[in-house]
Amino acid sequence: MTRWGFTLERSQICNQRAKQAECDYPVRFIGAAHANPCGGLDALKELNRCKHELGFQGVVITSEADGKFLDAPDYEPFWAECEKLGMFVFVHPARENSYRLFRSY
């Protein structure tokens, strides 16, 4: 398991539950994929499953994964796959990071 709790199994559970919520509340909820952008081939396969089997149009990630930020070379396969699939990427700010994308109260 990684620092933020990304595992393939967790992503699959989140994705199935998002699809169920979308089915249960079609007017109120639009599902988006959950995938580790640094998760390798398994994460990219899950992203493809979300697009083709679940019908998700986008993916939600945090601004940091595995201690790496959005411009890390490890993200390149993820960005390329999202572009190939035509999926939008919603970046949810991690609690603290060098981009200062966090909410101050």
Q: How confident is the model at residue 1 (pLDDT cuts 50, 70, 90)?
A: very low
23 lies in which domain range? Answer: 8-91
- Give the tokens for residue 7: 């595992």
Q: Are 50 and 35 in contact (CB under 8 A)?
A: yes
Q: Is residue 49 part of a domain?
A: yes
Give per-residue pLDDT as tens, 29-58: 999 999 999 999 999 999 999 999 999 999
- pTM (2 d.p.): 0.82
Q: Is residue 79 part of a domain?
A: yes
Q: Is residue 1 part of a domain?
A: no
3-state SS assignment for residue 96: coil
Give per-residue pLDDT as tens, 71-95: 999 999 999 999 999 999 999 887 6
With 70 as the cut, is the pLDDT of residue 101 above it?
A: no
- Residue 77 CA to residue 14 CA, distance in Å, equals 22
- How many domains is the chain built from? 1
